[in-house]
Amino acid sequence: MRTVVIPGAQQIEVVDREIPTPGSGEVLLRVAHVGVCGSDLNYYARGATGEYTIREPLTPGHELSGWVESDPSGELAPGTPVTVHPARFGQELAGLADAPHLWPGGSYLGSAATWPHTQGAMAEYLVVERPMVRVLPGDLPIRRAALAEPLAVALHGLTLAARHGAGTAGSDNGSDNTDGDLAGVRVLVSGAGPIGLLALAAAVARGAEVSASDVLAGPLARAGELGAGATYRAGEEEIPAGAFDLVLECSGAAPAVTTAVAAAARRGVVVQLGMLANEPRPVNLAPMLAKELVMLGTFRFAGEIDEAVTMLAAHPELEAVITHEFGVDEVAEAFAVARDGDRSGKVLVTLASERD
């Protein structure tokens, strides 16, 4: 089977590997589409993402859709369309029963965080454990389903924000908005790349009044198409200070973090969705104190992929986040286009366009 591997920085190639055989409790999938994620781009560009460095050839990819090829248990019929929760959870920690994504000892498809590395989905066939599989509803096309994982990341950030006061910002009643409703909440999405666009669309779907900022014109145009009420060209246009109950910082750039803190309203919430560099960077957090802001980190997601599948089926406009699609033999070009944020939103690598 054709398999994409990243041996190290600035290296990507397609190699031939044996089709894996599923064992007990496992399912063999035929992969249709794999989204190119920011972490995949970092592995390719720098040989690392965050603190995790490639130490052996790594197959990237954790955003996928496809079909069941075989299920030894007989529970899933061949040809069943699916997506995958890419996490294998580790050992439960006391007090974190509802946050399995934070348990130690887990793994994630296409990640160098483990040794040996956890190989990813950018191959024609993939074996996963049965609990990782999510069967698609009949009204969700296989192509759009490749957005389930990044949409789940965005939804997790919104859920955390709601739990920590977004929706009650500026009030003194001390209540938490635990159901995720963002009706009337003023939201700024900072960074309108693929995660930012999905966070924007999810916030709109939850009732928020959403604006977006980015340094590039292309992402801002796409944000407008997905429901942003206002857009701001960072560095050229002034982003209103203290105007937003919730800021979703999706770029990971240090200047954007500073702007996010300035843009948040008093007792507002700032959620850091974008991956930050694993090194000191200058950020001005002084306004956090005077405004009593809540600042949250967010890491992957727990069970939000099920909500993501439902939302993708109900909102066909979300497919507009996908701007480019390449065959597996064009993977180097796919990664080059995905690195051009002005030109591209979500880029897919397609390994099979229809069920054989």
What amino acid occupies position 272? Answer: Q
- 170 pLDDT above the threshold of 60: no
Domains and CATH numbers, the chain: 2-135+315-350 (3.90.180.10), 152-297 (3.40.50.720)
Residue with more model confidence, 221 or 171: 221
Average pLDDT, the chain: 93
Structure tokens at 37: 């994620």
Measured CA angle at 8 (ends 5, 14), to 5 deg: 20
Mean pLDDT lowest for which of 80-89, 270-279, 296-305? 270-279
How many Cα atoms sit within 13 Å of 219 on the Cβ side? 29
Residue 197 has what pLDDT? 97
- 178 pLDDT above the threshold of 50: no
307-336 average pLDDT score: 96
Residue 296 to residue 102: CA distance in whole angstroms: 14
302-311 average pLDDT score: 96
Residue 177 has what pLDDT? 43
pLDDT in tens, 323-342: 999 999 999 999 999 999 99
* H or E element that contains 201: helix 194-205
pLDDT in tens, 28-77: 999 999 999 999 999 999 999 878 999 999 999 999 999 999 999 999 99
Q: What is the pTM of this model?
A: 0.93
Q: Tell me, what DSSP letter sits at residue 321?
A: G
pLDDT in tens, 157-169: 999 999 988 865 4
Closest C-alpha among 267, 242, 260 to residue 166: 267
Residue 320 has what pLDDT? 94
Residue 149 to residue 3: CA distance in whole angstroms: 21
Question: For residue 208, what pLDDT band results from cuts at 50, 70 and 90?
Answer: very high
Residue 353 has what pLDDT? 77
Residue 175 has what pLDDT? 39
Question: For residue 356, what pLDDT band results from cuts at 50, 70 and 90?
Answer: low
Give a three-class secondary structure readout of 105-169. CCEECCECCCCCCECCCCECEEEEEHHHEEECCCCCCCCHHHHHHHHHHHHHHHHHHHHCCCCCC
80-97 average pLDDT score: 96
Residue 158 to residue 68: CA distance in whole angstroms: 31
Residue 108 to residue 132: CA distance in whole angstroms: 11
Residue with more model confidence, 14 or 99: 14
* H or E element that contains 14: strand 13-16
Residue 120 to residue 40: CA distance in whole angstroms: 10
What amino acid occupies position 128? Answer: V
Residue 276 has what pLDDT? 85
Q: Are 150 and 103 in contact (CB under 8 A)?
A: no
225-247 average pLDDT score: 96
193-209 average pLDDT score: 95
Residue 151 has what pLDDT? 97
Residue 114 has what pLDDT? 95
127-136 average pLDDT score: 98
Residue 181 has what pLDDT? 80
Residue 240 has what pLDDT? 97
What amino acid occupies position 25? Answer: G
Residue 152 to residue 318: CA distance in whole angstroms: 13
265-285 average pLDDT score: 92
Pairing, β 133-135 against β 186-190:
unpaired
236-241 average pLDDT score: 96
Residue with more model confidence, 178 or 136: 136
- 315 pLDDT above the threshold of 70: yes
Question: What's CA 93's distance to the chain center, in Å?
Answer: 24
Q: Within 10 Å of residue 337's Cβ, how many Cβ atoms?
A: 16
For a pLDDT cut of 90, what percent of the chain falls above it?
Answer: 89
pLDDT in tens, 92-106: 999 999 989 999 999
Structure tokens at 35: 């989204």
Q: Tell me, what DSSP letter sits at residue 175?
A: -
Residue 41 to residue 290: CA distance in whole angstroms: 37
